Amino acid sequence: MQNARTITGYVKGDRHRAAPSARPFVHVLADCSDKLSRICAVLEQRFAVAGERLDAEAKLSQMPYAIVIRAELRDVDNIAAIKKRSARLAKATKRIFLVEQPSHVCVSQAYALGATLVLPGPLNKIRLLAALAEPAEPAADSASCSTQPDNAVETAATAIASMFTAVTMGEPLDVDGTKDAGRRIADRITEHGLSEWLTTVRRHHEGTYQHCLLVTGVAIDFGLSLGVGRADLERLYSAAMFHDIGKARIPLAILDKPGRLDDAERAMIETHPVAGYDFLKDHEKISPEILDAVRHHHEYLDGSGYPDALAGHSINDIVRILTISDIFAALIEHRHYKPTMPRTEAYNIVCAMTGKLEKALVASFKEVALTR
């Protein structure tokens, strides 16, 4: 084994050289020297960088803007080493995990360890630099951002990661924890509004996790705008949190494919409502209303949806609200391979789905979509 060492200010072994203050400071953690040096080489042109191997003593001397971690997350020693640094990790604005094995288990493990973003697959310079780029912060948000931590986002992302792990590994499902995460999102949106939630989620997450967080936020705000009661709001955010759990059965290569899906891939995607329903149906804490929403959130009033081609009155109110929220969230989510669609354009697409969505609900959704 190579000697454990620290790389600071791009000088190997120089533990005391301070990173230049003119550039954002990024701390890199890796499970071997080769990975460490390759990431530092990518970042050195734009950031002040310090790094260390996970098997070395923690030497983080100043608080970084971001932490980048590249390690095998199926290794218990690596997981333990990351957990030892959890207090420091939690204080970084961005915590980006580079996961070489693009599996649900590894991605879920990264979020459970506190990731704000996971980039699966081989090291991609363009994606990593884009993820680290400073976001443009609206001035109006500066006060709330300085006082409002992202606990709701992190709690919800961890809950979603745990759900996916439960499906993939056959582990027990933490239903109460997932519902609590939904409640935190509801509290966050009640206090700070939907727009703040959408901005925060898109800044820190992408892919399936981002989508689930966006859908939950949109569905909650839609329910609040409609004046639904507390019990119905709980059913709604629980349904939103669980609605895509069946995607844990779908390969990430299909879920995150940048181009159009072929027929076989589309057929695979369309198995996720039934897969989610089958996984949840025997859990005593999952109500029939939530099960119905998980199975039927892709059904349309004209009978053209899946998996059961339901139509009209066969589709209940929670499902109708969730379906609109799901479509809108999918349109406005941020992907590295396409620009984020403006909310006005996304709402116009929802409005154009004549006969598929309840017209009165779509009209009521306008304020949520455009102004809240």
The low-confidence residues of the chain, meaning pLDDT below 70, are 1-21, 60-61, 134-150, 204-206, 336-337
Q: Note the pLDDT of residue 206.
A: 66
Up-side HSE of residue 325: CA atoms within 13 Å toward CB? 33
The CA distance from 26 to 166, in Å, is: 33
> Distance between CA atoms of 19 and 217, rounded to whole angstroms?
38
Q: Which residues contact 284 (CB under 8 A, 6 or more apart)?
A: none
> Left if phi > 0, otherwise alpha if psi is -120 to 50, otherwise beta: which for 223?
alpha
What pLDDT was estimated at residue 265?
Answer: 94
pLDDT for the residue numbered 61: 63
Structure tokens at 237: 């955010």
The pTM of this model reads 0.73
Helix (H) or strand (E) holding 38: helix 33-43
- Going by their DSSP bridges, the two strands 25-30 and 48-53 should be labelled as parallel
- Give the 3-state secondary structure of residue 26: strand
pLDDT tens sequence across 114-153: 888 888 888 888 888 888 886 533 333 333 333 344 577 7
Strands 66-70, 48-53: pairing is unpaired
Which tens digit of pLDDT belongs to each residue from 16-57? 334 445 788 999 999 999 999 999 999 998 899 998 999 988
DSSP state of 362: H
What does the CA dihedral 365, 156, 103, 250 come to, rounded to 10 degrees? Answer: -30
Pairing assessment for the beta strands 6-8 and 48-53 based on DSSP bridges: antiparallel
- Tokens representing 340 are 């984020």
CA 360 to chain centre: 30
What pLDDT, on the 0 to 100 scale, is given for residue 331? 94
The C-alpha atoms of residue 250 and residue 253 are separated, in whole angstroms, by 8
* Predicted pLDDT at 19: 43
- CA 191 – CA 126 distance, rounded (Å): 36
3-class secondary structure, 89:
helix
Contact 334, 346 (CB under 8 A): no
For 193, how many CA atoms within 13 A lie in the half-sphere containing its CB? Answer: 13
* Residues 17, 362: Cα–Cα separation, whole Å: 58
Supply the pLDDT for residue 145.
37
Distance of CA 71 to the CA centre of its chain: 20
